[in-house]
A and B are shown apart, each in its own frame.
Chain A
Amino acid sequence: MSTLSLTDLDETDRAILRALAADATLSAGALGRRLGLSQPAAWRRIKRLQEAGAIKGRRLVLDHAKLGFGVTVFLGVKLATKGRVSLEDFERAVTAIPEVQTVEHILGLYDYRLRVVARDISDFERVLRRRIMTLPGVGDVEANVLLSEERRPGPL
Chain B
Amino acid sequence: MLDDTDRRILRHFQADPALGTAELAERAGVTQATCWRRLERMQARGILTGQQAVIDWQALGYAVEVSLRITLDKTVTRAFDDFLEAAREIPEVLEIQTFLGRVDLRLSVIARDMAHYQQLYRTRILTLPHIADIEALMHVARIKSDEVLPV
Contact = CB atoms under 8 A, between A and B. Distances in A.
A78 to B, nearest CB: 12
B53 A21 contact: yes
Given A102-B142, A102-B145, A61 B92 contact: no
Contacts of B126: none
Contacts of A106: 67, 137-140
Interface string A59-77: 1111110110100001000
Nearest to B95: A151
A51 to B, nearest CB: 10
A6 B55 CA distance: 12
B17 A60 contact: yes
A59 B17 contact: yes
A58 interface: yes
Contacts of A155: 62, 91-92, 110
A interface, size bucket: 35 or more
Given A101-B146, A101-B147, 18 more contacts: A23-B50, A25-B50, A56-B54, A56-B56, A57-B18, A63-B46, A74-B106, A98-B150, A102-B146, A107-B138, A107-B139, A107-B140, A144-B102, A146-B97, A147-B98, A152-B93, A155-B91, A156-B55
23 contacts: A21-B54, A25-B51, A53-B59, A54-B55, A56-B54, A56-B59, A58-B52, A59-B146, A60-B13, A62-B48, A63-B49, A98-B150, A104-B140, A107-B140, A108-B135, A113-B67, A144-B101, A145-B101, A149-B98, A152-B88, A152-B91, A154-B94, A156-B55
